[in-house]
């Protein structure tokens, strides 16, 4: 119990003090983790676990989409469309209990997370 409380306090402090690019990377990393866990649960036949992971992943994608300023940079409109597509695929993976669709989502979210991580590193180098 004490370890859980300490970990939660650490995570709260990490989020509260992180700059926007770090928060975005943290969110994308959690998205990857959710989809990986969902895929593992689907493969094991644990559909309720997979459902909860996929719903959380959908919530993250929704947050990424609604917080995206499509006028902020070139390619933002296309990124919004990618988030919309990913959301639909996550729903399909969940409703159909389709691990193949979840695996495709895993590949996509990994690429998204890697891209945002590279952008954050590039931004940190120029700052």
C-alpha dihedral over 70, 76, 77, 81, to 10 degrees? -120
pLDDT above 50: residue 7: yes
Q: What are phi and psi of 78, to 5 degrees?
A: -65, -35
Residues 6+ positions from 90 with CB-CB distance below 8 Å:
35, 54, 57, 58, 61, 105
Tell me how far apart the alpha carbons of residues 61 and 36 are, in angstroms, rounded to a whole number.
Answer: 15
* pTM to 2 decimal places: 0.86
Give the model's pLDDT for residue 10.
46
Q: How many CB atoms lie within 10 A of CB 23?
A: 15
pLDDT above 70: residue 6: no
- Computed over every residue of the chain, the mean pLDDT equals 91
Percentage of the chain surpassing pLDDT 90?
80
The residue among 11 and 106 whose pLDDT is bigger is 106
Looking at CATH, the fold of the domain delimited by 20-126 is given as 1.20.120
């Amino acid at each position: 119990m004490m370890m859980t409380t300490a970990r939660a306090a650490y995570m709260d402090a990490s989020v509260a003090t992180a700059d926007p690019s770090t928060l975005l990377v943290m969110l994308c990393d959690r998205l990857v983790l959710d989809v990986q866990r969902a895929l593992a649960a689907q493969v094991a036949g644990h559909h309720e676990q997979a459902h909860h992971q996929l719903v959380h992943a959908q919530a993250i994608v929704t947050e990424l989409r609604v917080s995206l300023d499509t006028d902020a940079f070139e390619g933002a409109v296309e990124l919004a469309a990618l988030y919309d597509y990913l959301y639909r695929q996550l729903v399909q993976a969940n409703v159909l209990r389709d691990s193949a669709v979840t695996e495709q989502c895993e590949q996509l979210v990994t690429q998204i997370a890697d891209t945002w991580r590279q952008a954050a590193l590039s931004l940190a180098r120029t700052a």
